[in-house]
Structure 1
Amino acid sequence: MIPSPRTIRSVALMLSLVSISAALAAAEIEELESPAGPGSLAPSFAPLGDNRLVLTWLEPVENGHALKFSVLDESGFGAAETISQGEGWFANWADTPGLFVLPGGDWVAHWLVKSGSSTYAYDVVMARSTDRGLSWSEPVSPHDDGTQTEHGFVSYYAASADRVGVVWLDGRNTGMAESGDGGEGHDGHGGGGAMTLRTAELDGSGLEKTDEHLLDARVCDCCQTASVVSADGPVVVYRGRSMDEIRDHYVVRQTADGWSEPERLHADNWRIGGCPVNGPAMVADGERVAVAWFTMPDGQPAVRVAISANSGRIFEPVDVLGEGTALGRVDLALSGSGFVLSWVDQADRSGVLRLAGYDWQGQQQWMERIDGLNAGRASGFPRLGIGQGCRPVVAWTGTNDGERRVRVARLSARAGCPETPKAPGSS
């Protein structure tokens, strides 16, 4: 297939940090005109169920930040709209806002607001829209402990058509604000207790909390969480923290008898004295659940992929990628008859975003790369979605004309990916 002039121009723009010949050697990759303004960061995607995607991001405004969104269809992005804006927000490269679309059609968004003077003293704040972003409810918080400690790294699951399940890291036991250390570190917070993992369900009227549970009393302090709904109920994956600092991933499931006890996903046996800030990703399609995560036992980095055929009860390893070079920051998206994985890697001493497609037997169908990413925190956590035409779409924090802003690229349709809409319900 001969690329169009528009595609050729888009490829050249996206790969501005590499040569034109290298850009043309890549598969068809189109950089889209980003709706995000100068200084934007922290992108995230939410599927609408008709293969359109909602992109959210943070953008600086006078005296604060705004959480904005734009809908992506085949022709590109629509106008940028504002969910909320304010002063004193916690704007971070790793703990980012997001949006979740419930099966009934309502949207739920969250962002983070400082609760005290310590660096990591902040709360999760949420709002709901019943008209696809035209208006939003009054903000609420899923936690009510009242402590000036860390609350964040949110993931969602659909508790019902109009009830949202929220999972977050909760630092109410860490005593950070009372430690007097300024809150500059994690993993102890000045001698307080451990970070916990909690979940709550919020109803369909005003996001009133109706149920809350402690899922794990000791977890890693600043890694993303991942939540989905399988055929048998919600599944949550997160990075745990043993007393001797083994920080492997664990699984909890909601069953007819309540939430299960944590079970280790895989025995990586990665002992590390501080949080790696590198959480998992997960998707589900009926009883089939796929998980990807970063690990580095014995100093050897890698990204691992595992699949469950029974709603997360048992996971079987299916692939290991980026051995010796992976930086992690994984994401997953459902795609036709399988799923797509993205992660940040290193190549030729620079950052590379790699993408790979899998079927549900764990067989890799294709692999692609996007060059020119910053290998450090500046690129944030690239996010992945599947748009119209079954085309993978990625967003990351990059630079354009020397200015930081969210950038977005769209790949051509991949093998094994019929144009079949996927309903929302996982994150």
Structure 2
Amino acid sequence: MYLKNRNAEMFRKIAPVLVMLLVPTAFVHAQAPSLENPSGSGAMAPGLTALPGGSAAILSWIEKDGEDHVLKLSRFEGDSFAEAGEIARGRDWFANWADTPAVHARADGAWIAHWLEKSAESTYAYDVRVTFSTDEGKSWSPARTPHADGTPTEHGFVSYFPADRQRTGMVWLDGRETGAARDGHDHEGFMTLRTAMIEADGTIGPDRLIDDSVCDCCQTAGGTTALGPVVAYRNRTSEEIRDIAVVRRTADGWTEPRLVHADGWKIGGCPVNGPSLLADGMQVVVAWFTMAGDEPKVRFAVSNDAGATFGPPVTRSPGTALGRVQLAWINDGFALSWMEEDQDGAARLRIAHYSLQGELLDDLALGQLDGGRVSGFPRIATVDNRLLVAWTASEQDKGTRVMTALVDLDRPEN
């Protein structure tokens, strides 16, 4: 685990792990053959997005081209990836292992993509940049910024939720209050959670505040239920309790934050380990990492009332979890992926398949990954009821490469 302390503005390594490649383990209940993709040497920060209809997905990643960072994408369909395309490039990007670009696919066929761009010399001064495509990524609009504060502070950890077929909501962590002292006070403000609407033509409406005190650098997650949007994120109290909260948008606006579960994790810095969320009809699933009680663990909880309340959490990998959770709908249930340490202290990727009632259907380990920041945040997406997996791996020259695999869940053991 890594801890980001706002006062020191740095990450601290908590749990070192060995560097190893993907290999079979005794936990594997499904084959996970390596799958070639068009990313090049030095690629990092993979993203996966399932396309409407469930028969294809988009893989996105960052590569270097000379002094430029380049955001690329490739469509996966059938059993292979298409030739890589380019979304955007620039020399002043903030490219890192945790706050990564992504592509969102709208129901009407439009695609939205974002990345982070430096706004000043300070390490943590960067803006969100958003672009829009109506021809499946062949061309992209000029980039826009969803926040108009103009402060040289952090803006990132973006997630999306469908508003309707032609509009998309986005949420992000916004650091406009964390810079120089505000309103005559001599202390820093807190990271905030804000939202804006991307309209049908790709223009972005004004940003609005959702929560004025959230964890500084944990991923956000969004979705839409039968009753409206729901967003999960790591909250932050004045006592430095940083548990996972959800907010819902109703006819009266955004609700007050409500904890998915009161873990009671008190921590004086950001663990860089946010939640994942699925929403469909009245069901919401939220997964997260916590070290409450000084025991690392991954948890998930299910709501049957559109995120208003959640059932008791299910705990995975107590004592060995590293977190970095991801969720995906699959086979009348959902898949949960996370990273943990094995008995030798190496990192590996775990995937579990659950029914909508929370019954465990399959439980597998895909093998060992690079430890620390190198593997980034593994991603999963469902394509034709198979699970597409992407992560970052190290190369012999100390560079990185994006790796992909395809998993069939619930196959009989050999």
Task: Assess same fold via TM > 0.5.
Answer: yes
Residue 310 of structure 1 is aligned with which of 292, 300, 305?
A: 305
SS in 1 for 2:266: coil
Cα drift, residue 415 of structure 1: 6.4
Say which of 23, 41, 50 aligns to 1:38: 41
For 1:384, the equivalent position in structure 2 comes to 380
Relative to structure 1, is the Cα distance of residues 362 and 18 closer, same or farther in structure 2, using a 3 angstrom cutoff?
closer
Match of 1:49 in 2: 52
Q: Which residue identity is paired with 1:378?
A: V
Counterpart AA for 1:49: P
Are residue 409 (structure 1) and residue 405 (structure 2) matched?
yes
**How far apart in 2 are the matches of 1:349 and 1:228?**
35
CA deviation vs aligned residue, 1:161-211 (integer Å, no higher than 9, x gap): 1111010000001116x89xxxxxxxxxx9421000001112111x32234
Name the structure 2 match of 1:233. 228
Aligned residue among 157, 171, 175 for 1:171: 175
Partner of 1:117: 121
Which residues in structure 2 correspond to 1:181-192 (within 5 Å)? 191-192=187-188
Q: CA RMSD in A?
A: 2.0
Q: Match of 1:128?
A: 132
Shift of 1:25: 6.8
| CA drift at 1:298 | 2.0
Contact 1:124 1:141 survives alignment (8 Å):
yes
> Which secondary structure state, in structure 2, belongs to the residue aligned with residue 317 of structure 1?
coil
Structure 1 match to 2:199: 203
Q: C-alpha offsets along residues 328-353 of structure 1, whole Å, 9 cap, x if unaligned?
A: 00000111311100000000210010
Higher helix fraction (1 or 2): 1
Please list, as runs of the form range in 1=range in 2, the aligned pairs for 1:209-248 lying within 5 A after superposition. 209-248=204-243
> Could you say which residue in structure 2 is the equivalent of 1:71?
75
What is the identity, as a one-letter code, of the residue corresponding to 1:74? Answer: G
Amino acid at match of 1:260: T
Q: 1:38 to 1:306 in 2, by over 3 A?
A: same
Residue of structure 2 equivalent to 1:286: 281
Letter in 2 for 1:285: D
Larger RCO, structures 1/2 (Cα 8 Å, 6+ apart): 2
Does the Cα contact within 8 Å between 1:202 and 1:211 map onto a contact in 2?
no
Cα distance in 1 between the residues matched to 2:325 and 2:79 = 27
Confirm whether residue 270 of structure 1 aligns to residue 273 of structure 2.
no
Cα deviations across residues 279-337 of structure 1 (Å, max 9, x unaligned)?
00001121111000000012100001100001101111241001000000000011131
1:158 Cα deviation from its structure 2 partner: 1.0
**What are the Cα deviations for residues 247-304 of structure 1, in whole angstroms up to 9, with x where unaligned?**
0111100011111111122110000010000000001121111000000012100001
Is the CA contact 1:382–1:396 (under 8 Å) kept in the aligned structure 2? yes
Which among 23, 26, 31 is matched to residue 28 of structure 1? 31
Unaligned runs of 5+ in 1: 1-14, 180-189, 417-427
Do residues 93 (structure 1) and 93 (structure 2) align? no
Which residue of the partner structure matches residue 3 of structure 2? none
Aligned match of 1:152 in 153, 156, 179?
A: 156
* Partners of 1:154 and 1:167 within 8 A in 2: yes
CA distance in 2, matches of 1:23, 1:319: 23
Instruction: State the TM-score, normalized to the length of structure 1.
Output: 0.87
What SS does the corresponding residue of 2:169 show, helix, strand or coil? strand
Per the alignment, in what secondary structure is the counterpart of residue 215 of structure 1?
Answer: strand
| Residue of structure 2 aligned with 1:323, choices 305, 318, 322 | 318
Aligned to 1:137: 141
C-alpha displacement of 1:387? 1.5
Q: What amino acid does structure 1 have at the position aligned with 2:50?
A: P
Indicate yes or no: 2:55 matched with 1:60: no
Aligned residues of 2:159 and 2:222 also touching (Cα < 8 A): yes
Question: Residues 304 and 282 from structure 1, CA distance in 2 versus in 1: closer, same or farther, beyond 3 angstroms?
Answer: same
* Structure 1 contact 157–164 (Cα < 8 Å) conserved: yes
CA contact (8 A) 2:248 2:307 kept: yes
Q: How many residues align?
A: 388
**Helix, strand or coil: the match of 1:378?**
coil
Q: Is the CA contact (8 Å cut-off) linking 1:56 and 1:68 kept in structure 2?
A: yes
The residue aligned with 1:420 is none
% identical equivalent positions: 47
How far 1:401 moved relative to its partner? 5.1
Deviation at residue 17 of structure 1 after TM alignment: 3.7
Q: Decide whether the 8 Å contact of 1:304 with 1:317 is kept in 2.
A: no
Shift of 1:99: 0.5
The answer to whether the Cα contact below 8 Å between 2:23 and 2:366 also exists between their aligned partners in 1 is: no
Q: How does 1:1-20 map to 2 (within 5 A)?
A: 17=21
For 2:65, the aligned partner's letter is V
Residues 35 and 404, structure 2, Cα contact 8 Å, conserved in 1:
yes
The alpha-carbon distance between structure 1 residues 338 and 63, as it changes in their structure 2 partners (threshold 3 A), is same
Counterpart residue identity of residue 379, structure 1 = S
Secondary structure of the residue aligned to 1:316 is coil
Structure 2 counterpart SS, 1:298? helix
Cα distance in 1 for partners of 2:364, 2:23 equals: 17
How far apart are 1:67 and its partner, in Å?
0.5
Shifted more, 150-159 versus 391-400: the winner is 391-400
